[in-house]
Amino acid sequence: MTSDDRARVEASSGWGVLHLFYEVDPARAADEVGGAKRVLDAIAACTEDPLHQVLTCAVLGHKADLGIMAVGPDLARLQVLQHALRSAPLTPAYSYVSLTEASEYAMTEDDERARLAADEGVTDPAELEERLAAWRERIVHYREQRLHPQLPQRSTLCFYPMSKRRTGSAAGGENWFALPFDARKELMAGHARVGRSYAGRVVQLITGSTGIDDWEWGVTLFSDDPAALKEIVYEMRFDPVSAQYGEFGPFVTGLVLDPAEALRRVGLHE
């Protein structure tokens, strides 16, 4: 099936995200000519539509050899990529499906107005409107990047799924979903402040997977400094959102490379 043979499948909000991890089949890689070309052709076909992006990495450790992250509006196109990769000498090791999303806990204009008054003493109407206008521009950019991200060019990435704890009672502080919305929003605001302190060092992409895959969110971190990946996750472990309510799946870390170079590193050649 080609990309022209099927109907598009698009979410009403957000783009599809596929994290695909593979082990190289060494026997097939040695016997079959053009294993890398099959992967490169599959990536090229997916990215013929410029809204679709594919990133490749050579995985560190033995959880997988090759990682492929694909993002775009058409889930059918992403599935065609997934299926095409099966023709290469690759054995699936792990996968994750999610959608980009805007946070339900994002600050509103009323929140920012109250923060400017309480934290910075901004009460003059003219100054307040000027500051709010700048905030509106930032929030539009932030929301657009959350829903329709441009994958950054950083040398390393780390992916892991996570969920919010929902065992026990609300009184025991273990059920995130039993907390009132305002309490959850306040906790997430503190969590976000930790993340913002890594601006310039770590790019974060949080995608939603409730009802789509085994966990509730997928987290992809990009950085040129591998130590920053460790530091941001470690620091966030002390934040109540993680310390009391966070549950984490497997972590996979890789070196982000041009597709041809990533394939060469894992033993696939054209």
Active-site residue numbers?
160
DSSP 149: P
CA distances from 155 to 24, 58, 59, 145, 150 (A): 22, 11, 12, 20, 15
Query: What one-character-per-residue DSSP string does 101-131 give?
Result: ---TTPPPHHHHHHHHHHHH----HHHHHHH
For residue 187, the SS3 value is helix
- In this structure, are residues 174 and 189 in contact, taking their beta carbons and an 8 Å threshold? no
User: CA–CA separation, 50 vs 100, rounded Å?
Assistant: 17
| End-to-end Cα, the chain, rounded Å | 23
CA distances from 206 to 62, 102, 135, 216 (A): 25, 9, 21, 10
Listed in order, strand segments (DSSP E) in 102-242 are 156-164, 203-208, 217-223
14 phi/psi in degrees, rounded to 5: 90, 170
Query: What one-character-per-residue DSSP string does 52-102 give?
Result: -EEEEEEESSSS-SEEEEEEESBHHHHHHHHHHHTTSSEEEEEEEEEEE--
User: CA–CA separation, 202 vs 228, rounded Å?
Assistant: 7
